[in-house]
Amino acid sequence: MVRGAGTLLNMATVLVGSGLGVALGGRLPERTRTTVTDALGLVTLVIGALDVAALSDPAFGAAVGDSAALLVVLGALLVGGIAGSLLGLESRLERSGAWLQRRLSGSGSGSGSGRERFVEGYVSASLVFVVGPLAILGPLSDGLGRGIDQLALKSTLDGFAALAFAASFGWGVAASALSVGLVQGLLTLLGALLGGLLPEAFVSSVTATGGVLLLGVGLRLLQVKQVAVGDMLPALVVAPVLTALVQALR
């Protein structure tokens, strides 16, 4: 299997799911579309909670200490969140969504509500599709030449998620395929360059941190609080760095 095929498959399922969602969404009442979004938000919270359980992984505890695992994730979120907010990652992601909406619509005269739905669909779908263990482990495994089994599973899940998102938010969800291609493509390249296994403790730290970010995405979808998850994305890089630092100091 050609390296990168898993990410291409993932992008394809997002586009197909988005197209079906847009076709179906126009026939659904607003109340039904809201219910679909709420259901997706609840499921996202469940997935995030399951990922946070990686805090109790034996390899993670052995590397940093059972009592320090949560502190590593907290430190990663704080350092990553500060860095991301100073860089304005959340606002940059939103601006890129607005720019894509103008380019794809062919004009800048779209309604304000339509543009907001496009941007929200793009941002929310991008965060859901590129945050999580499968979004990281899948392309890394693909890059290491171990096949696309994980990405095949993720592609199936993302296809159904894109359908649900697009039924509520429209074509902005399809634009998130670009985010999937960029992020997972870079991780596939990273896996090819690494040429070996990542320590299990590092993977657990990223998984737990990604789970917390997914909880934030779920809160956004449920409109409980607009957590600036985009600003916290650097935490996924900081987490393994802090893990290595704590492990070295022990």
Burial, 176: exposed, middle or buried (Cβ in 10 Å; 0-12, 13-18, 19+)?
Answer: buried
* Domain range enclosing 107: 5-249
243, 139, 203, 180: which is closest to 11 by C-alpha?
180
* Sequence-ordered alpha helix ranges (H) in 5-111: 5-25, 30-52, 58-64, 69-87, 89-105
CB 64 within 8 A of CB 211: no
Q: How many domains does the chain have?
A: 1
Token code pair at residue 226: 């607009």
Q: pLDDT digits over 95-116, tens only? A: 776 676 666 555 444 555 667 7
Q: Tell me the residue type at 142.
A: D
Kindly report the pTM of this predicted structure.
0.75
Mean pLDDT (the chain) is: 84
Give the number of residues written for the chain. 250
What one-character DSSP code corresponds to residue 28? Answer: S
Task: Give pLDDT, residue 109.
Answer: 45
